Amino acid sequence: MILSVSNIHKSFNEVPVLQKVSFHIEDYDKTAIVGINGAGKTTLLRIIMGEISADEGMVTLARDKTIGYLSQQEAVSGENTIYQELLLVKQDILDMERQMHTVELQMKTASGDHLERLMDNYASLTHAYETAGGYTYKSELTGVLKGLGFTEDDFDKPVSTLSGGQKTRVALGKLLLLKPSLIILDEPTNHLDLQSIAWLETYLLNYKGAVLIVSHDRYFLDKIASKVIELDNSFATVFSGNYSDYAAGKEQLRAAAYNAYMKQQQEIKHQEAVIEKLKSFNREKSIKRAESREKMLQKIEVLDKPTQVRDDMHLKLEPKFPSGNDVLTVEELAKSFGPLALFDNLSFEIKKGEHVAIIGDNGTGKTTILKIINELLPPDRGSIRLGANVAIGYYDQEHHVLHPEKTLFQEISDDYPNLNNTEIRNTLAAFLFTGEDVFKTISTLSGGERGRLSLAKLMLSEANFLILDEPTNHLDIVSKEILEDALNAYTGTVLYVSHDRYFINRTASRILDLNRRVLTNYLGNYDYYLEKKEEQLAKIDASSVKSASADQSMDSSFAKQDWKAKKEQQAAQRKRENDLKKCETQIEALETQNAEIDTLMSSPEICTDAAKLQELNLEKEEIEKKLELLYEQWEKLS
């Protein structure tokens, strides 16, 4: 065992945040802590690290074990370069290198016993150097930096010039190189692109120590976790398995708890009714029996009603009016910032009802594309055309659509003056803003609260084309699931940028991968994209080999060919979708006909008519044959 957490209690302003929290971490465990925003996850990590004290309970770290912790806000600072900053972790190896170099110089002029002592010392140093990884630390350091999304050109950049997200990645790299017995990570994927997240998954899965993670990235938790600790209503429950196993187990526990609660409530109501009836007889014996039952009822430990957290937030997205079939056409789009060319000759189309995700590494220009479509940035070249009756609703990851100086109430009332006070309050309440919360200024809200307010405005917009930039950032898992359900039920068109692979998997019907300044189209969700990615990249590489310089004319030619291929793919996809709908309609009609025959055959006037029964039976067999063929067709189409 590496870590034991026993009976932890913690309250703030007499409000319990953690109660009776107990669990342990074994060697090689990969453990996740999950829970809604405000459940106490970060508080628990800070108690484990000794940054704050618990009101009760004990945290015990096993002897000779070490902990490394990366908080959400942790970053590096100073004038070191990125490479130098990570090199600090290997200071013991650098010291040994200097000692070895000093001994080497001394051996050149030494002789006799002195030389022998120096040689013995050098042998000991060499062995310690090799054991500490002295011959591999440079490649290890380079591998970690590249895995976290830094290129060799970045290695010499001063830390002071980096963005907050880049500094956090450097801090994560230092922690991974330290190799403590237990790594504790608070939202480690927040500042990583998809490629870096995939690298981190592999690294942590193969890590020789234990890992404790707080994360809302469900795809990440499915890959990494072998144990899940849920914080709910200040209590902790431990589940074996990954996130999907936890979700299934949680649902079973919730159902069992709800059934127990309902059964007890029924028993209480029954006893209360019996007591009332006994009292109504107004006899000495009946009153005594009633009093006896009342005492028994008072001794019952009443179960709390299980919380149904998914009922707290209500998000329903519905267009006010439908758009035309052609929603968006982008042709030969180009954008650069100074010498940095993000993309050139990008072309794609989006049709009515499509749910399209744009993915790619950080810095490739995904958000820039959305800003150009929303006319927040001008393109260097190219055209963007919206189709007939297209009304855009925009969700900005930095929430620039919100006004920091306004209250929540003012934000809604100013943008939607037709709503009365009750309607505004009801809307805000649907997104968990109740009572005096509606008069908070937006500047005081957390990232998750701003995200919920932006979703409220998106819902009120009744747009038929939603453009979303990292919509799941700062949302807890429950809020993400609510957003996913709302988007899946939405009849309009969606274009979004996201790094949340679980979210993409559940909501995307098509993926545009922005890679090497080219958009590659995948007609499926994230799992489908992973299957086809290598195949598509091989095609791009084969095309690039023809021109060593990969000049702009070649990029343009390829992009146009790629666009034509995508249009053909889209047409084929639409045909499959139409065939699928037609097939489903036929199946529904035959199933209805089949049910009607069953009803007829069981009726009194038919069940005694042998000839009619035989006729209906033959008709039923014919329907069954047709259904069998249609189901096979449906399986192929779907």
* Segment 199-256, tens digit of pLDDT: 999 999 999 999 999 998 999 999 999 999 999 889 999 999 999 999 899 888 888 8
What is the band of 537 on the pLDDT scale with cuts at 50, 70, 90?
A: low
Which of 85-89, 272-276, 396-400 has the largest mean confidence?
A: 85-89
Model pLDDT for residues 357-373, shown as the tens digit of each residue = 999 888 889 999 999 99
The predicted structure's pLDDT at residue 548: 46
User: How many angstroms separate the CA atoms of 371 and 495, rounded?
Assistant: 12
Q: What is the mean pLDDT of residues 63-67?
A: 92
The predicted structure's pLDDT at residue 393: 93
What is the band of 543 on the pLDDT scale with cuts at 50, 70, 90?
A: low
pLDDT > 90 in the chain, percent: 53
For 475-500, b/e burial (b = at least 16 CB within 10 A) is: bbbbbbbbbbbbbeebebbbbbbbbb
Model pLDDT for residues 1-53, shown as the tens digit of each residue = 999 999 999 999 989 999 999 999 999 999 999 988 888 999 999 999 999 99
Q: What is the mean pLDDT of residues 55-84?
A: 88
Q: Is the pLDDT of residue 303 over 60?
A: yes
The predicted structure's pLDDT at residue 571: 73
Model pLDDT for residues 69-83, shown as the tens digit of each residue = 988 766 677 789 999
Looking at the whole model, is its pTM more than 0.75?
A: no
Spatial contact of 68 and 182, defined as CB atoms under 8 Å apart: yes
User: How many angstroms separate the CA atoms of 8 and 5, rounded?
Assistant: 7
The predicted structure's pLDDT at residue 575: 78
Q: Is the pLDDT of residue 602 over 80?
A: no
Q: Is the pLDDT of residue 536 over 70?
A: no
Q: What is the mean pLDDT of residues 154-176?
A: 88
The predicted structure's pLDDT at residue 567: 67
Q: Is the pLDDT of residue 565 over 80?
A: no
The predicted structure's pLDDT at residue 550: 47
Q: Is the pLDDT of residue 283 over 90?
A: no
Q: Is the pLDDT of residue 620 over 50?
A: yes
Q: Is the pLDDT of residue 471 over 60?
A: yes
Spatial contact of 221 and 32, defined as CB atoms under 8 Å apart: yes
What is the band of 94 on the pLDDT scale with cuts at 50, 70, 90?
A: very high
Range from 437-441, 468-472, 591-595 carrying the lowest mean pLDDT: 591-595
Closest by CA to 336, choosing from 384, 371, 381, is 381
Tokens representing 28?
Answer: 């090689």
Range from 16-30, 159-173, 328-342, 534-548 carrying the lowest mean pLDDT: 534-548
User: How many angstroms separate the CA atoms of 11 and 375, rounded?
Assistant: 48
| Torsion sign (Cα): 437, 442, 444, 450 | positive
Q: What is the mean pLDDT of residues 128-157?
A: 92
Q: Is the pLDDT of residue 98 over 90?
A: yes
Q: What is the mean pLDDT of residues 584-596?
A: 78
Q: What is the mean pLDDT of residues 286-307?
A: 85
More confident residue, 615 or 83: 83
Crossing angle of the two packed helices 552-601 and 526-545, in degrees rounded to 10:
150
Burial of 264 (0-12, 13-18, 19+ CB in 10 A): middle
Q: Is the pLDDT of residue 396 over 50?
A: yes
Angstrom distances, CA of residue 43 to CA of 52, 229, 385, 576, 599: 8, 14, 49, 51, 62
What is the band of 432 on the pLDDT scale with cuts at 50, 70, 90?
A: confident
Task: Tell how far CA 365 is from the center of its chain.
Answer: 21
Helices (H) and strands (E) in the chain, counts: 20, 18
Are β-strands 326-337 and 182-186 bridged in parallel, bridged antiparallel, or unpaired? unpaired
User: How many angstroms separate the CA atoms of 60 and 2, rounded?
Assistant: 8
Spatial contact of 146 and 170, defined as CB atoms under 8 Å apart: no
Helix (H) or strand (E) holding 214: strand 210-214
The predicted structure's pLDDT at residue 516: 82
Closest by CA to 519, choosing from 487, 553, 484, 567, is 567
3-state secondary structure of 459: helix
Beta-carbon count within 10 A of 469 CB? 23
